[in-house]
Structure 1
Amino acid sequence: MEGTKPVTVVTGGSGAIGSAVIASLAAQGHRVINVSLEETEKNDDAHFFAADLTDREATAEVLGRINREYRVDNLVNNAGFTYVTELQSLSFDRMQAMVDIHLRAAAQCIQAFAPAMAQNGRGRIVSIGSRMMLGRPGRMVYGMVKAGLLGMSRSLALELAHQGITVNMVSPGPIETALFRQNHPPGAPQTEKVLGAIPVGRIGTPEDVAHAVKFFLADESGFITGQNLFVCGGGSVGSAVM
């Protein structure tokens, strides 16, 4: 029955990873809500809510609408964008936008949906991190917000555990997207360098990330919380900072 399907909110569901997560969950019977700035192409697997998640008031408005129309069971914090800069070229306005979408919006979504999850005695929250939080030149802001997201997830895992809510994180390495292929054409030296640093010998796919998200959302994963799962083909193994 339609009413018994779990309701899952995916932020940033119009991108490559978000679309793969939505498709995977819809195939499993979830009623999926995509909260994104725009719907890049029509997706029959999800109900689309437009919102600029860098805007706190706009975010509050759309979260209120969702709460009035649905009882949310699961949340996937996937919205975000990258920002590559060296220290002396840093834009603090751009950094604030990164904090807003990766951290403030994630916290705002969790705050909005956790009460219904607690009332139901069961909830799943998964945030998308990045292997970049381990450190890389030019990724100081991106690494900062993703590391902050991990700290938030671990703290909230403890705070919400007694309510039946788990909070975990999935951190991808290099993933095959249109943007990745634009910057890393097949056979190019930079592509071969990336491949050489991945023990399994291939670039990840959005579906690899979706599989990890689906694992954390499962009913059977109720004893797993406060964890970060790298989906990186082994690229994070041996890194000094874990």
Structure 2
Amino acid sequence: MATMIRERPAILLMDVCKSFGTGDGKVDALKNINLEIARGEFLALCGPSGSGKSTLLNILSGIDKPTSGSTLFLDKSLNELDEGQLSVIRGRHLGFIFQFFNLIPVLSAFDNVCYPLILNGRYGRKEARERTQQTLESVGIGALGNRTPGQLSGGQQQRVAIARALAHDPQVVVADEPTGNLDQATGEAILDLLMKINQETRTTFIVSTHSTQLRDRARRVIEIKDGEIVHDVSK
């Protein structure tokens, strides 16, 4: 009988705790988090404000380090890496999507995607420009590259932000309330796009959200409350 080889997870958190402050002012933001995220998974991270969602996103993406416990990202122990090494991992393997787009207002949509690629150091200018155009087209705004963010709708701006997150072909995308600043119809369209990208590219998506529509459609939902995982349901 053939032996099934189990694929290594994209991210593995083991007994992760995170505290802020000391003494009477100490706050336990995360408490003994154990979490395995498979490669190609689309995961919704839910919970009220102050529950620990943002802290968890920061730790699993290497922006912050836990007070105790360990984090493996694509088989690399983030605890053992310095900031320079963490920056390289984020620049090569992670994409970030934000609620408020975080686009540079004086740059065109094209340059908002292209400049980070060039600064990343992995691509020359020609290849960066080619990848930028291809990625803008893949998210449905290939003809809008010359417009600045102020000349785009909210949904179009979020598509630029998604293109920026995807242009360097990351293995993991972390999205913090990606539909939170959009109306329901536009948010649904953005969600359709994210799920389509996940299915076609097998990019791992970890999405922090208050959106019921995203929660209902995600294949795995994790709920965090007071720094602890209280529900973990796969559909």
Q: TM-score, normalised by structure 1?
A: 0.29
Larger helix percent: 1
User: Which has the higher relative contact order, 1 or 2, with Cα contacts under 8 A spaced 6 or more apart?
Assistant: 2
